[in-house]
Structure 1
Amino acid sequence: MREKVIRAILDSGENFISGEQLSKELGISRTAIWKHINALREEGYNIESVNKKGYRLAEKPDDILSSENISYNLPTEFIGKKIVHFDTIGSTNDYAKEIGNKVRGGTLIISEQQTKGKGRLGRSWKSKSGDGIWMSLIIKPKIDPYKAPFLTLVAGASIVEALSNLGVDVLIKWPNDIILNNKKICGILTELSAEMERVNYIVIGIGINIKTLDFPNEIKEKATSLYKEGYKISRADIVRQFCIEFEKLYKGYILDDDKENTLDICRKHSAVIGKQVYIVKNNKKELVKCIDINENGNLIIKENNGDIKEIMSGEVSIRGIKGYV
């Protein structure tokens, strides 16, 4: 019922909607309406109330990641249509894996805080309350399991497009980091549940630093946030734009086997193609030149001896010569 109350207020825009009208439309008492309004205010909605006029939003709810706010007028078919929101959780990826078999594809798990957030290769991910976007998307594509890793590139390309739509130009450090001003702003962790020839579900975890201004010493030279780089952008708008862009690229890949749109974005916005980088594997570093990303989403490199090799995601880490990239 609370979702219906906020949707009615969102629909009214700058106009007031009376408690009596809400009561009639929703079939509940005005006292119940008042209780829902107070609960919504506690969630962060700035709802103005004026005697004999009713209720309206005093400002756009840009920073509220509730299901009602993000899914309102979201023009997707299934991505983000079901959102589970938490104030705090251990890990959105872990929770997504718990419910992966029980929910429909496109379900999005979002939390204001993670206490056990994690990144690629088991690294921890700092997820302070309200500072970023910590979310996991559950998808259920009818593809062979070996095709699943390409969806990390789909997610990365979707984030690039989403932020570009909002005025932020970022790069991708293959395969799963989003870079702004040569520092990491976002990480992607893709996890798969599958049988020999069938995908049960895929969880794509995404962490985006939005408001963080001070980073721990061990990562302050390689991590940044939108606010730190001067971009004050709505968290809700970022999530909506991601859902829109992901659905377009995802449907192209799954339904039409179209990889080119995703690859074009990943190549155009690559932070490593054409550069010399260190390939790190088992604590050993090798200086190579990145040449391209092939049709399978793997990185093509040239070794010092001239050999051309294909590197699969998950095999190695990449480090720049002078810094993170």
Structure 2
Amino acid sequence: MIQRTDIIWLAEVDSTNRFALDNFRWFESGTMIAASAQSAGYGTKGRAWLSPPDVNVYASLVLRDFPFPVHSAARIGSLAVLRVLRMHEPGLPLSVKWPNDILCGHKKIAGVLCETRDNGLVIGIGININMDREAALRASSNATSLFIETGKRQPDVGIFVSELRNTALDLLEQARSKGDSELYEEWKSENYLSGRSVSIRCPDQNTVSGLVVDFSPDGAIILVENPSGNIVEIRSGDLLGY
């Protein structure tokens, strides 16, 4: 069993994911690295993640000997964020946006980034908790926070870190005991893009447009391409419109 008491709190770090990866060999599986601020936070493809002090969750969960593919870890992170936010605000219109964002309505409230190291991986999670509108606009025109959505400031951002860790480890134990197909179905049912028309720029710089009809177990988004009607599976890319 993974110990559930190991949370390492840092006042500031360049990035909790980078810190976890650089020191991976020293951490037990289940260790959570959390920081009050990040000086060089990053998301997918190294994009900067604005990380002002004392207002948001910046955390990374270390998992050794992870028995599933990386996309399963991303599902665990995304579902953990959904469950924890719903504990606090059950009425929020939350969803997952492929490949790694959490939306509230049409705006991004959180992100998940999984990176591998040696025989395991790190699940990085950023959630905008008490960020105000001005700071959110500096982050992105499409960013929001729990405070912006509810008008309520959370007195203790740290409680979200503890809840995220416990929820993610619960999901991991569920996957280990039953397989990860249930998590796949739950993640798929939460996806914002289902039934929507999207445009995606693929790694080869070609753009594919079509209707989202499904998501594969390995994390690919499945489109009916316009105008050909071909079925296309895309495993990575940038959403240009949705």
- Judge same fold: TM > 0.5, yes or no: yes
Q: CA deviation at 1:153?
A: 1.1
1:227 equivalent among 133, 147, 167? 147
| CA separation of 1:225 and 1:216: change in aligned 2, threshold 3 A | closer
Residue 17 of structure 2 aligns to a residue whose secondary structure is helix
Q: CA deviation at 1:265?
A: 2.5
- 1:174 paired residue number: 98
- 2:231 paired residue number: 308
CA distance in 2, matches of 1:79, 1:238: 18
- 1:320 paired residue number: 241
- 1:205 paired residue number: 124
Q: CA deviation at 1:280?
A: 1.6
Q: CA deviation at 1:192?
A: 0.3
Residue 306 of structure 1 aligns to a residue whose secondary structure is coil
1:132 corresponds to 2:67: no
**Superimposed CA distance per residue, residues 31-66 of structure 1 (whole angstroms, 9 cap, x where no aligned partner):** xxxxxxxxxxxxxxxxxxxxxxxxxxxxxxxxxxxx
1:162–1:241 contact (8 Å) kept in structure 2: yes
1:80–1:108 contact (8 Å) kept in structure 2: no
Residue 136 of structure 1 aligns to a residue whose secondary structure is strand
Q: CA deviation at 1:220?
A: 4.0
Residue 38 of structure 2 aligns to a residue whose secondary structure is coil
1:101–1:201 contact (8 Å) kept in structure 2: no
Q: CA deviation at 1:217?
A: 5.1
1:98 corresponds to 2:22: yes
Residue 26 of structure 2 aligns to a residue whose secondary structure is coil
- 2:188 paired residue number: 267
- 1:242 paired residue number: 164
1:158 corresponds to 2:80: yes
CA distance in 2, matches of 1:176, 1:89: 22
CA distance in 2, matches of 1:268, 1:155: 15
Residue 101 of structure 1 aligns to a residue whose secondary structure is helix
Q: CA deviation at 1:286?
A: 2.6
1:92–1:135 contact (8 Å) kept in structure 2: yes
Letter in 2 for 1:158: A
**Superimposed CA distance per residue, residues 251-301 of structure 1 (whole angstroms, 9 cap, x where no aligned partner):** 1223432321x2233222211011011112255433211111222232222
Q: What TM-score does the superposition give when structure 2 sets the normalisation length?
A: 0.89
Q: Which stretch of the first structure deviates more once superposed, 110-119 or 200-209? A: 200-209
Aligned 1:39-118 pairs, distance under 5 A: 78=2, 80-118=4-42
Larger radius of gyration: 1
Letter in 2 for 1:296: D
> Higher relative contact order at CA 8 Å, sep ≥6: structure 1 or structure 2?
2
CA distance in 2, matches of 1:296, 1:95: 28
Q: CA deviation at 1:80?
A: 4.4
Gap regions ≥5 residues in structure 1: 1-76, 195-199
| CA separation of 1:220 and 1:100: change in aligned 2, threshold 3 A | closer
Q: What TM-score does the superposition give when structure 1 sets the normalisation length?
A: 0.67
1:277 equivalent among 181, 198, 204? 198
1:298 corresponds to 2:220: yes
| CA separation of 1:84 and 1:129: change in aligned 2, threshold 3 A | same
**Superimposed CA distance per residue, residues 213-264 of structure 1 (whole angstroms, 9 cap, x where no aligned partner):** 113656542111110111434423322332232122211223432321x223
Letter in 1 for 2:12: T
Question: CA RMSD for the aligned pairs?
Answer: 2.0
Residue 80 of structure 2 aligns to a residue whose secondary structure is helix
Q: Which stretch of the first structure deviates more once superposed, 80-89 or 109-118? A: 80-89
Q: Percent identity?
A: 26
Aligned length: 235
Residue 161 of structure 2 aligns to a residue whose secondary structure is helix
1:79–1:243 contact (8 Å) kept in structure 2: no
